[in-house]
Structure 1
Amino acid sequence: MRANELERGRRRVGVAILGGVAVAVGWVAMPGVPVLRAPSAGEERKAEGEALFVRTWLPHDPLANADGLGPVFNGRSCVECHFQGGAGGGGTVEHNVLAFEAKPTEDRPEIAAGLVHRFAVANHYLEDLSDLREYFPIVPEAIRITNGCYVVVKDFDPVQTERVNSTALFGAGWIDRISGRSISRRNLARSIEAVGRELAADFDGIPPGRYRVLPDGRIGKFGWKAQFATLEEFVAAACANELGLGTPHMPQAKPRVELPYPDMPPDLDRGQFRSLVAFVDTLPRPEEVPPADLESRAEVARGRLLFDQVGCAVCHVPDLGGVAGIYSDLLLHRLVDRQGRSSYGDVLTGAPIPREHPTPDEWKTPALWGVADSAPYFHDGTSPTLRDAIIRHEGDASPVTRAFEKLDESDERALIRFLESLRAPSDAPPVPEPTEPEEGGLSIAMAD
């Protein structure tokens, strides 16, 4: 009798273990919850949001609940930088912003990041790179590791800067609804594939990249560094940093100058901010527009196959999390900086760099939907054509670049023609004619 009870106990334990394994396998295999419903909002709320998006803001603007535009800013309206293909599109290099990041030091254990603004409401609030020295001074003696040797670096500058281009916002609401689980499951599948290749002695594949885990544990989806988890956070940061408009979610940017600027209540109230987010959230998604004639359509179809064959689709995944035609895995990948700034780990400044934080050469894979109407390309907008952008891919994407360069002229043209079929939405809101400020005497200070 005792033996039978022990045997039944062992069986129950075995069943429990097998059940646990099955649950674990199922959890790994589950791709995440697909996006089943299109973004939506009431017409009145969207109309109010569009009016805020295209508005040319003023200091002490009558629509603002505080000091309005500024005190520091990069543009006077959202549409000033997001206009290609319609209101909400990408911007040109003329509207690039200067972003900076400061490595941690013994006196400042956290990474600092922000913008050096182009404009201010008064000259004494204008920012300059030299102003950053007050906040992030030169480290007199840092230590660099070179070939295993410790070398003292005189006057180490912890600040790195980068020109950043404005991305298109079409389809942003769909991206916002892609679950973090879908992103992490895709990354896990790619990691398993990479292990399989290496076990087969194939070391020429594309690394799987990684998703960015934010301090609160969520996965980042928006921004060139995947620094925002939601569209709402992205819009709040854009209002605060690009326009100087505070919202209930983020205060306005303050000038990094000696003269202090007082704290202000939000410029946009909760209702205004919800309307602005609703407008961006419901911007139409880009379209794949095949050519009208059969010969060109066949060339585009061949280009789509080549896009997959050379390896572009490994990172620019056509469908993700139930969203078709996005052409992104929303992961961080290394794209080796032309100036050689590849990592933080070779400089010891007295404070560790969080592993989750992107290195200088890691960038989130941009969605390619609508790419034909969003030139110039790359995070800094310095690749004027699609071909320029492709051959600039290094680092993780080096195998793809080499494969593309081996294509003959006909195949290369077909691949580019396919990318040219990925257009901005035909029903995008129109860009209004530029308007002059409603109040005379507006004086804006501009940095050199």
Structure 2
Amino acid sequence: MRSLLAGATLTLALVSSAVAGDPPWAERTLTDPLDLGTVAREGDAAIDALITRGGELFGAKFTTLDGAGRPMATQAIVPTKRKRPGANTFQRTSGLDANACSGCHNEPITGGAGEFVGNVFVSEGFESAEFDSLDPQFSSERNTNALMGAGLIEMLAREMTAELHTIRQETLRKARASGEPVTEHLIAKGVDFGSITAAPDGMLDITKIEGIDSDLVLRPFSQKGVFVSLRQFTVNALNQHHGIEAVERFGKRWTGADDFDEDGYKDEVSDGDISAMVAWQATLPTPTRRQDIPESWKAAAAQGEELFGKTGCAACHRPSLPLDGLVFTDPGPSDMAGTLNASEVDTPISIDFARFDWVAKLPRDEMGRVLVPLFGDLRRHKIADQRNDRLGNELLAQRFVARDDFMTAELWGIGSTAPYGHRGDMTTLDEVIRAHGAEGADAAKAFEALAEDDRSAIIAFLKTLVIEDSEKVGQ
């Protein structure tokens, strides 16, 4: 069955902080369910209203009257029943663990990162629906990532996925045509993902693929790189952290029930409301560089940026990646069952990022492509080993990603998002740089070998990469 979701179809009148008919002091937070298929397409004004609605939902403190809580469901991303209600509604390790999305994403502004106190505990919830141990055998403790520039990140990931799939298809074609095995490197936007070998009979050797799943779908979100889209991330997080269940995963289509968690509230978050939250997150401006600094700092930062490349840090933390297109669509093309996919809707919403002032300010290459200044490569790397396992602080696998493999952290905004490390247990940039092992060991050693002033210059450079208020950036 195809969803009624259709285009950029939202009127400003639908954006309201109170449910229709409720008094202004009502304790419900969610507005009436948003069905994008019932209103006419209205261009940029509708998109602006959709984004506004998403911002309201992101900052909303959900109440039990909204459906917050999941007495008979676990935090698992696959709808999973409990045998009996949990002893506590709120519990830090297994959730509920927050009232609002902004409860964790708030440093230095809403949509940003989180301090150590906002750490979350990641567990699929299949073996233990409820647990109260901080032992890493039970859950992986994670610091909150910033969402700034997330829409551009997702668009980069989609384009890189398409490039890798094209290489795979062409490798198979060459093998069939030649009657011989053909090996091709998997390089997308200059990032190396290893290689594949195709046999004439169509068999693929995928053992040399690196830093990505064997399906060659780039999953840019989460510290392990396991979520393909902001939509998947949002549906997962609403259930885990708030007990708010999206219809597209927990509704009748997949579970046979309209109140899967048995909290007395049906169809808690509509497809349209998820799209609103996605639109708001996707259009958060990119981090920028501090300009209001003394000349001595500017000089040190310029020196530090040069040393950042010479020490090898930029091999993974690439200063920028080129983006061909600027139209973000939701739902996206790569989501699987339980998260709405573009093929399941009549017309995805479409947001042209070219109209945002902060996008116009981004640099472009000689081909006219926007250079997204993420300081990352959207790839997994082994970052801990026996000699230096400080960043290998997890015991549980997540979606079969190796324990010591993590996505390269995007460093844009790093000057605003202390603490550092996957667990947020490192208080300085110097500390987290030295903690790099395995594939990052050579860069860490090169940093340690620098003179103190040179190390200080790299820190000065990183401290200029900041998140600013959207009004200052120019949304």
Q: Same-fold call, TM > 0.5?
A: yes
Q: Find the counterpart in structure 2 of residue 415 from structure 1.
A: 458
Maintained 8 Å contact 1:170/1:425: no
Q: Find the counterpart in structure 1 of residue 379 from structure 2.
A: 331
Amino acid at match of 1:408: A
Q: Find the counterpart in structure 1 of residue 56 from structure 2.
A: 51
Shift of 1:265: 4.2
User: 1:19-418 alignment to 2 at 5 Å?
Assistant: 42-61=47-66, 67-71=67-71, 72-100=95-123, 113-114=124-125, 127-129=130-132, 159=137, 161-178=139-156, 179-181=159-161, 185-186=187-188, 190=192, 210-213=210-213, 218-251=217-250, 262=262, 265-322=266-323, 323-336=371-384, 337-338=389-390, 357-418=400-461
Shift of 1:357: 2.9
Amino acid at match of 1:327: F
> Identity of aligned pairs, percent?
28
Query: Runs of 5+ in structure 2 lacking a partner?
Result: 1-43, 72-94, 165-185, 196-207, 252-259, 324-370
State which structure, 1 or 2, has the greater radius of gyration over its C-alpha atoms: 1
CA–CA distance in structure 2, aligned partners of residues 210 and 288 of structure 1: 32
Amino acid at match of 2:317: H
Amino acid at match of 1:376: P
Amino acid at match of 2:430: R
Amino acid at match of 1:419: L
Amino acid at match of 1:293: P
Maintained 8 Å contact 2:392/2:403: no
| Matched residues, number | 311
User: CA 1:79–1:331 in 2, change beyond 3 Å: closer, same or farther?
Assistant: same
Shift of 1:284: 0.9
Maintained 8 Å contact 2:319/2:374: yes
1:38-70 per-position Cα deviation (integer Å, ceiling 9, x unaligned):
x99722111111111111111122xxxxx2344
CA–CA distance in structure 2, aligned partners of residues 277 and 189 of structure 1: 27
Backbone CA RMSD of aligned residues: 3.6
Query: Runs of 5+ in structure 1 lacking a partner?
Result: 1-38, 62-66, 101-112, 118-125, 133-156, 194-207, 253-259, 345-352, 430-448
CA–CA distance in structure 2, aligned partners of residues 187 and 210 of structure 1: 15
Amino acid at match of 2:380: L
User: CA 1:52–1:312 in 2, change beyond 3 Å: closer, same or farther?
Assistant: same
CA–CA distance in structure 2, aligned partners of residues 92 and 335 of structure 1: 22
CA–CA distance in structure 1, aligned partners of residues 118 and 422 of structure 2: 13
Q: Find the counterpart in structure 1 of residue 169 from structure 2.
A: none
Amino acid at match of 1:235: T
Maintained 8 Å contact 1:186/1:329: no
Shift of 1:209: 9.1
Q: What SS class does the counterpart of residue 89 from structure 1 fall into?
A: coil
CA–CA distance in structure 1, aligned partners of residues 246 and 122 of structure 2: 21
Amino acid at match of 2:47: G
Maintained 8 Å contact 1:96/1:380: yes
User: CA 1:261–1:237 in 2, change beyond 3 Å: closer, same or farther?
Assistant: closer
Q: Find the counterpart in structure 2 of residue 24 from structure 1.
A: none
User: CA 1:330–1:192 in 2, change beyond 3 Å: closer, same or farther?
Assistant: closer
Maintained 8 Å contact 1:233/1:249: no
Shift of 1:96: 0.9
Shift of 1:180: 2.6
Shift of 1:211: 3.1
Which of structures 1 and 2 has the larger relative contact order (alpha carbons within 8 angstroms, sep 6+)?
1
Maintained 8 Å contact 2:193/2:212: no
Shift of 1:380: 0.6
Maintained 8 Å contact 2:136/2:394: no
Q: What SS class does the counterpart of residue 321 from structure 1 fall into?
A: strand
Shift of 1:190: 4.0
Q: What SS class does the counterpart of residue 185 from structure 1 fall into?
A: strand
Amino acid at match of 1:161: S
Amino acid at match of 1:288: R
Amino acid at match of 1:223: S
Maintained 8 Å contact 1:115/1:241: no
Maintained 8 Å contact 1:187/1:211: no
Amino acid at match of 2:59: V
CA–CA distance in structure 1, aligned partners of residues 446 and 287 of structure 2: 28
CA–CA distance in structure 2, aligned partners of residues 424 and 320 of structure 1: 19
User: CA 1:59–1:189 in 2, change beyond 3 Å: closer, same or farther?
Assistant: closer
